[in-house]
Structure 1
């Protein structure tokens, strides 16, 4: 057995122990740098590489060389090619080279009844032509555009997947995938891509019954969307949580929580756990999170780590909470001390994966030396 194979098995076992409810040999580390960070870190042009990612493996490799993680520390969710083909309005390349998600209205208020009756038909017939200008055409042309976009998608993501496999083998990363599926909380889906932030906040006051019916109608589709072809006990479906912190408690209880819980439970029923990015501050709703199926992975952006450990640490898997902002503003010792503080609070009893409160997005958003020092400290000192 090669050294990297042995290292991969050792790292994989750390995560399997966490998922099995056992205390691993040490706290596993899972950090992630988004595509834009990796390109900037390698000293390359953002726009050039995203449109022509022939050097992507070399770029990702540099991050793998320089940053400690037990899981592959690079990811690429989106490339501009297929959005360009579709004429996307919901994902637009900015002049700075970042794909951005502007406020969009894919579904008019008059479309609620059609959406409630059949979400899929409404999205295909009404929403997609509004969000993607190249699909607002005759059926033959639309089919050709979709075929080209799917070809670009599979080419880009297939290349990325090939690179991931090469780097996992080269550096001995754990064979775990907490992003093997993707979906949204039903309310977030309606808000993000269909109605927009502004409109959904108006809708829940003016037409609450229709909003409630819409999120109920789309829930089975979120479960289907989040279920990979071969569900696995040791994998997870990624669900970023967006709107809840901006809702009043009574609106959260009516519009957000019931269908979100149903989605997570539905994934559990088909053999998938949820990997939640608990965005912003969910401390108001922490008792709700405790009701989710056991072993749900929760990456917290903000919150009280002591309260999170107390309320969730015995039932669920906790990660995140380390502030990326500190890596930019703190001294090296302050950064290491923060890691020690979080480990002391969250590691006892297991169910903890060390991670940052968000993915690394830009190379200048952190002090590189501080970041490396923190990861080295955790790798060498977070043993049980």
Structure 2
């Protein structure tokens, strides 16, 4: 057996035990980042990499090995060639090549009833042509551009999956998250109505917002399982970033967000999948909701007191995150390690804990990644349950 295969097997066992709320041989370390930070780390140019994915293939294994991580998410990089070709206003590159998601509106407030009646038709007929201008062309040209965009997406995705397999085969890093989905309210806000639009809609037409979330639920449930072949799998998990709750008051959360979100998570876990929630923002007033979700959930927390998080959700949810990447800018190496010590002391007891940062590391610029290496080495040496 090769060293990479041995490491892959050991790390998968380590991760699976933690996800199952057990105690592996030591605390696993997860790399919460996209390929962009690996590209920076290796001294390559992001804009070049988004057009030449061979740079990603070369950079990611080096970053994973040097950072001594036990697992990573599937490589995810929005490639500007495809988005430029389909006239995207939803995702656009900046001068450096990093893809941005600006505040745009794909559905008018007057179109709620159409969405509720037939969400798929509304997405195809109304939303896609607005968000991607190449689809809004006369005759068969719009359909042709749609086919070209789909083929381009399939091509890029295939290459990125091959890069994942390459990382596993060369440096023994398993991919434990795959296939990102959104909660119905997040999808409505992010892709259809925009942050400003949904904020107004909750006051002007609250019943339509509720009905729209219900109408979108079946599509998002189907989205959650389409990337898996064969029976449901616990690993890799389904990744779900939670965008809007930290901007909602508790009454809004309970009325608009929680019903379809909780049903989506519980349905997927009931089918046998693991769902990983990226819990963005401050959820300190909402921990009791999270604690009521079914098991087979992993929570990556951006903020919060680790001790409180463990007490509130640790009996049913594997806990990750919470390490402040800002410390890698302003703190000494010793101080960065001290933060990790405190997190381990509060998060690890009883099992079900994976070490990672509270935010996804988007770029290496401005961060002292040698400090992160030292923190990871401390976790490896001293991260016992």
Q: TM bucket by the smaller chain?
A: over 0.9
In 2, Cα distance between equivalents of 1:234 and 1:47 = 32
1:89 alignment counterpart: 89
Judge conservation of contact 2:322–2:356 (CA < 8 Å) in 1: yes
Judge conservation of contact 2:103–2:194 (CA < 8 Å) in 1: yes
In 1, Cα distance between equivalents of 2:99 and 2:147 = 22
1:224 alignment counterpart: 222
In 1, Cα distance between equivalents of 2:43 and 2:187 = 36
- 130-139 vs 330-339, which moves further: 130-139
Q: Deviations over 1:192-250 (max 9, x none)?
A: 01000001000000111111110111011111111133320233111100111111211
Judge conservation of contact 1:33–1:74 (CA < 8 Å) in 2: no
- 163-172 vs 346-355, which moves further: 163-172
In 1, Cα distance between equivalents of 2:18 and 2:376 = 19
In the TM superposition, 1:1-384 aligns within 5 A as 1-72=1-72, 75-174=75-174, 176-179=175-178, 181-227=179-225, 228-230=227-229, 231-384=232-385
Q: Deviations over 1:114-138 (max 9, x none)?
A: 0000110100001111101000113
Judge conservation of contact 2:19–2:298 (CA < 8 Å) in 1: no
Stretches (4+) displaced over 4 A: none
- 113-122 vs 158-167, which moves further: 158-167
**Counterpart of 1:324 in 2: which secondary structure?**
coil
Consecutive unaligned residues of structure 1, counting only runs of 5 or more, are none
In 2, Cα distance between equivalents of 1:98 and 1:21 = 36
Judge conservation of contact 2:185–2:213 (CA < 8 Å) in 1: yes
1:137/1:265 CA distance change after superposition, 3 Å: same
- Quote how far apart the aligned CAs of 1:139 are: 5.0
Q: Deviations over 1:97-129 (max 9, x none)?
A: 210000011000111000000110100001111
In 2, Cα distance between equivalents of 1:311 and 1:65 = 34
- Quote how far apart the aligned CAs of 1:309 are: 0.4
In 2, Cα distance between equivalents of 1:72 and 1:204 = 37
**Counterpart of 1:364 in 2: which secondary structure?**
coil
1:342/1:351 CA distance change after superposition, 3 Å: same
Judge conservation of contact 1:64–1:73 (CA < 8 Å) in 2: no
1:197/1:80 CA distance change after superposition, 3 Å: same
Between the two proteins, the alignment pairs up a number of residues equal to: 382
- Cα RMSD of the aligned pairs, angstroms, is 1.5
In 2, Cα distance between equivalents of 1:256 and 1:182 = 18
- Quote how far apart the aligned CAs of 1:36 are: 2.0
Consecutive unaligned residues of structure 2, counting only runs of 5 or more, are none
Judge conservation of contact 1:18–1:352 (CA < 8 Å) in 2: yes
- Quote how far apart the aligned CAs of 1:346 are: 0.5
- Quote how far apart the aligned CAs of 1:19 are: 3.1
- Quote how far apart the aligned CAs of 1:351 are: 0.6
In 2, Cα distance between equivalents of 1:303 and 1:114 = 40
In 2, Cα distance between equivalents of 1:245 and 1:32 = 20
Q: Give TM-score scaled by structure 1 length.
A: 0.96
In 1, Cα distance between equivalents of 2:276 and 2:81 = 28
Judge conservation of contact 2:302–2:359 (CA < 8 Å) in 1: yes
- Quote how far apart the aligned CAs of 1:73 are: 7.0
- Quote how far apart the aligned CAs of 1:65 are: 3.3
**Counterpart of 1:196 in 2: which secondary structure?**
helix
Judge conservation of contact 1:325–1:365 (CA < 8 Å) in 2: no
In 2, Cα distance between equivalents of 1:223 and 1:154 = 21
In 2, Cα distance between equivalents of 1:13 and 1:204 = 45
- 291-300 vs 15-24, which moves further: 15-24
